[in-house]
């Protein structure tokens, strides 16, 4: 909430309606009064995102992808701001709103962010199955604001890494409760029944949550583009690969059992495994085949609707010259689009692309051009998400790849993002002959 914004609450009784009608009365700094009532049918209209073989489209028929008429394929520009929940939970809701508004102003339609924080300060999940209701409402706010700004969210459900708890926190919780988590050559997170139960309980709490700001259940919320099972799953060795695959099958099916309206993706970095020897040459190094993930096998899982891939040439081949990195990136993207097109028959999103200290923005431009080319040919490569955008005053969330919106140093990068958003949106609009929707941010 911005300064000078007053919020009042009034409880009303709506007969037998399940909504405890909470009336928010907002008087903003322009002295206009806006009333928003947490009633689902008063939220801005938005369609659900569906897939049809290798394409995304937006469904006008409220959630049932089977009922939709053939709409034009969706190619999109997106971004990451992993910190939205963190900011929302630490009194910086104005930063959340600002980031979502700025993203939309740059024509970007989808933001990928964390829907988890496990253990530690301001945790959403305090311990297995125990939630901080206040922080849950902070997540409600993120989703509500996304809808209000016409942005859709890819929500990731757990981290492989230890930032904000992640996989190591789940293992620790199990260890503390007496489970034997000692290594038997495979990652307990993907294998141990108790830890799997913790994860399922978490996912269920999220998906069945009713948003306190909007009154909409998360499972009915069109501003959610997709659920992502885990950010960057890796195991210590490829002996864990079968456990990771089994986990993906089990958990994607579990999500679908709770929520048939939303798409599901894994959250992979996209490395090829030993099962697809022909593709190993696209990996950034031999090590990539032995971290237990397998782009083709993992993404082919029936309940996985689209493939997800990351791209970090600066981290993966740090010693190569910039041109070499760009060349490598082209190969990486070509392989994944072609495999999604032919082997998987699903769309693919490059859900993290990061580059450091490159005033020429060559890597960003390279991947954007590849996506545009894919859109022109109506291929499976449907979008790229820059890692990661911030607004001013969010320094604690900075990393070596971060770009601060409005930061003069990055003007060219932002021009590129806007240009990419706009050329993809114009194409989308052209496909829908009679649309009245405006091309936002362009």
Query: Active-site positions?
Result: 232, 352
341 contact partners, CB below 8 Å, separation of at least 6: 54, 379, 380
241 neighbors 273 (Cβ within 8 angstroms): yes
Q: For ligand NAG, which residue of 43, 97, 149, 160 counts as binding (CB under 6 A)?
A: 160
**Binding mask 102-141 vs ligand NAG (x if CB under 6 A, - otherwise)?**
----------------------------------------
Residue 237: other Cβ atoms inside 10 A: 13
Nearer Cβ to ligand NAG (237/406): 237
Nearer Cβ to ligand NAG (378/392): 378
Structure tokens at 239: 């002996």
Nearer Cβ to ligand NAG (238/356): 238
Q: For ligand NAG, which residue of 172, 210, 212, 330 counts as binding (CB under 6 A)?
A: 172
Structure tokens at 90: 């630490």
Least separation in angstroms between CB 372 and ligand NAG = 21
Q: For ligand NAG, which residue of 236, 392, 396, 399 counts as binding (CB under 6 A)?
A: 236
Could you tell me the sign of the dihedral formed by the alpha carbons of 103, 27, 147, 270, in that order?
positive
Least separation in angstroms between CB 58 and ligand NAG = 11
**DSSP 8-class letter at 63:** T
Measure the CA–CA gap between 324 and 161, rounded to whole angstroms.
Answer: 29
Counting residues that bind ligand NAG (by CB under 6 A) gives 26
Structure tokens at 409: 């140093």
Structure tokens at 195: 């830890």
Binders in 266-285 for ligand NAG, by CB under 6 A = 274
418 neighbors 441 (Cβ within 8 angstroms): yes
Ranges assigned E (strand) in 118-242: 125-127, 130-131, 152-156, 224-228
Q: For ligand NAG, which residue of 76, 111, 115, 235 counts as binding (CB under 6 A)?
A: 235
Least separation in angstroms between CB 88 and ligand NAG = 25
Least separation in angstroms between CB 310 and ligand NAG = 9
132 neighbors 139 (Cβ within 8 angstroms): no
Binders in 39-58 for ligand NAG, by CB under 6 A = 52
Nearer Cβ to ligand NAG (184/406): 184
Least separation in angstroms between CB 432 and ligand NAG = 12
For 390, the 3-state DSSP assignment is strand
Per-residue H/E/C for 109-151: CEEEEECCCECCCCCCEEECCEECHHHHHHHHHHHHHHHHCCC
Nearer Cβ to ligand NAG (67/197): 67
**DSSP 8-class letter at 241:** H
Q: Is residue 302 near ligand NAG by the rule CB under 6 A?
A: no
Nearer Cβ to ligand NAG (129/274): 274
Least separation in angstroms between CB 312 and ligand NAG = 10
The four Cα atoms 259, 144, 82, 283 give a dihedral, to 10 degrees, of 40
Least separation in angstroms between CB 110 and ligand NAG = 20
Measure the CA–CA gap between 229 and 246, rounded to whole angstroms.
Answer: 13
Nearer Cβ to ligand NAG (32/182): 182
Nearer Cβ to ligand NAG (81/240): 240
Residue whose pair of structure tokens reads 């509500």 in the numeric block: 144
251 neighbors 200 (Cβ within 8 angstroms): yes
**Binding mask 58-87 vs ligand NAG (x if CB under 6 A, - otherwise)?**
------x-x-x-x-----------------
Residue whose pair of structure tokens reads 């995304």 in the numeric block: 56
**DSSP 8-class letter at 217:** B
Binders in 175-234 for ligand NAG, by CB under 6 A = 175, 180-182, 184, 187, 232, 234
Least separation in angstroms between CB 117 and ligand NAG = 17
Number of helical (H) and strand (E) elements in the chain, helices listed first: 12, 17
Residues in touch with ligand NAG (CB under 6 A)? 52, 64, 66, 68, 70, 160-161, 167, 171-172, 175, 180-182, 184, 187, 232, 234-236, 238, 241, 260, 274, 289-290
């Amino acid at each position: 909430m911005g300064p000078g914004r007053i919020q009042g609450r009034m409880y009303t009784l709506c007969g037998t309606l399940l909504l405890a009608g909470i009336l928010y009365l907002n008087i903003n700094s322009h002295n206009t009064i806006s009333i928003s009532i947490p009633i689902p049918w008063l939220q801005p209209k938005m369609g659900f995102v569906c897939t049809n073989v290798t394409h995304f489209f937006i469904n006008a028929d409220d959630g049932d992808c089977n009922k939709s008429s053939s709409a034009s394929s969706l190619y999109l520009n997106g971004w990451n701001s992993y910190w939205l929940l963190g900011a929302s939970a630490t009194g910086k809701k104005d930063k959340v709103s600002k980031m979502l508004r700025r993203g939309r102003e740059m024509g970007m339609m989808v933001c990928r962010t964390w829907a988890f924080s496990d253990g530690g300060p301001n945790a959403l999940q305090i311990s297995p199955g125990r939630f901080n209701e206040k922080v849950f409402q902070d997540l409600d706010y993120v989703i509500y604001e996304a809808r209000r700004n016409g942005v859709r969210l890819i929500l990731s459900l757990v981290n492989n890494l230890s930032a904000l708890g992640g996989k190591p926190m789940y293992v620790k919780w199990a260890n503390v409760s007496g489970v034997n988590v000692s290594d038997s050559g495979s990652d307990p997170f993907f294998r141990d029944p108790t830890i799997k139960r913790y994860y399922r309980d978490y996912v269920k709490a999220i998906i069945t949550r009713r948003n306190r700001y909007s009154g909409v259940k998360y499972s009915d919320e069109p501003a959610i583009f997709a659920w992502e099972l885990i950010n960057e799953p890796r195991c210590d060795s490829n002996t864990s690969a079968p456990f990771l695959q089994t986990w993906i099958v089990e958990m994607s099916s579990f999500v679908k059992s709770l929520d048939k309206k939303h798409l599901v993706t894994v959250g992979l970095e996209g490395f090829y495994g030993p099962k697809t020897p022909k593709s190993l040459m696209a990996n950034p190094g031999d090590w990539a085949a032995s971290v237990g993930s397998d782009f083709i096998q993992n993404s082919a899982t029936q309940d996985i609707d689209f493939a997800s891939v990351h791209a970090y040439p600066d981290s993966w081949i740090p010693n190569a010259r910039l041109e070499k990195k760009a060349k490598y990136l082209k190969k990486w993207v070509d392989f994944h689009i072609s495999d999604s097109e032919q082997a998987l028959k699903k769309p693919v999103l490059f859900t993290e692309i990061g580059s450091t200290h490159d005033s020429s923005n060559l890597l960003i431009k390279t991947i954007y051009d590849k996506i545009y080319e894919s859109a022109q040919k109506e291929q499976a490569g449907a979008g790229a998400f820059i890692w990661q955008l911030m607004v001013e005053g969010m320094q604690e969330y900075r990393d070596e790849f971060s770009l601060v919106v409005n930061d003069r140093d990055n003007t060219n990068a932002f021009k590129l993002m806007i240009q990419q958003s706009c050329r993809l949106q114009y194409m989308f609009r052209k496909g829908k002959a009679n649309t009245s929707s405006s091309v936002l941010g362009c």
